[in-house]
Amino acid sequence: MGYSVYLKSNGETYKLPVNPEEIKKTKKMNIGKYQVLGTGQVSLPAYRELTQYSFECELPHQTMHYMERGTRADPDYYIDMLKQVQDDMEPIRLIYSNNITEDESVEVLLESMEIVEKAGEEGDKYLTLSFLEFRAPSKKYMAVVTPEAVVKQPEEPQPANPAVTPNKTYTVKKGDSLWKIAKQFYGNGAQYPKLFQANSGQIKNPNLIYPGQVLTIPA
């Protein structure tokens, strides 16, 4: 089974002289991978990638019985057209049919063209063509950046001073003072009277505290 292949560019339609035996059509879905803290890696569909088309074809330099009617035995005629397509950087229309499945007609960009000449077949040329589906950017979105992301789970709200909780206690260490302890728990040493009042039962002089004393830290 062969395909009838046409390329339409600048209002002109070009039929390939020898149709390819197969056309490879590749459709992919971009899958986003995300690392969720505490859960592990998850995957989510991100977007459909552009469809790729590729095939190989022969361009004979002299008329052969298997060539399509109305085509030329002139490899450079087709190669020059394809080079111009790449230079113009404009989409063309790829049309193909195998008379069994539905015809395909899609705007594409010529992504690559590989030209091969074989020993013993002087004048003949073989092309490997790769096309990418053309999709113009919308007016609203001109570019999309998709870096890998780390999804954090919602954090529990934290109090303004996470070290301060009702009825918290603190064991005095060597070198401590009420000023130093107040600064540690409240961020301000001038709050030391609050500690003195909460521990008045065991502290008679705010300037004198001893290692081993267990102090109540009021909220």
Domains and CATH numbers, the chain: 4-151 (2.40.30.200), 168-217 (3.10.350.10)
Instruction: Give pLDDT, residue 119.
Output: 87
Tokens standing for 120?
């013993």
Instruction: Give pLDDT, residue 11.
Output: 86
Taking every pair of Cα atoms in the chain, the longest distance, rounded to a whole number of angstroms, is 115
Q: Which three-class secondary structure state does DSSP give residue 158?
A: coil
Cα–Cα distances in Å, from 102 out to 2, 50, 132, 197? Answer: 14, 20, 20, 88
Question: φ and ψ at 182, to 5 degrees?
Answer: -65, -40
Gap between the Cα atoms of 74 and 78, Å rounded = 7
Strands 168-171 and 214-217, by their bridges, are antiparallel
Q: Provide block-wise average pLDDT over 10 residues at a time, the chain (219 residues).
A: 80 90 90 80 86 93 90 93 92 85 86 92 92 82 52 58 65 90 89 89 87 89
Instruction: Give pLDDT, residue 36.
Output: 80
Cα–Cα distances in Å, from 18 out to 61, 64, 101, 163? Answer: 12, 9, 20, 80
Instruction: Give pLDDT, residue 140.
Output: 58
Q: Which three-class secondary structure state does DSSP give residue 163?
A: coil
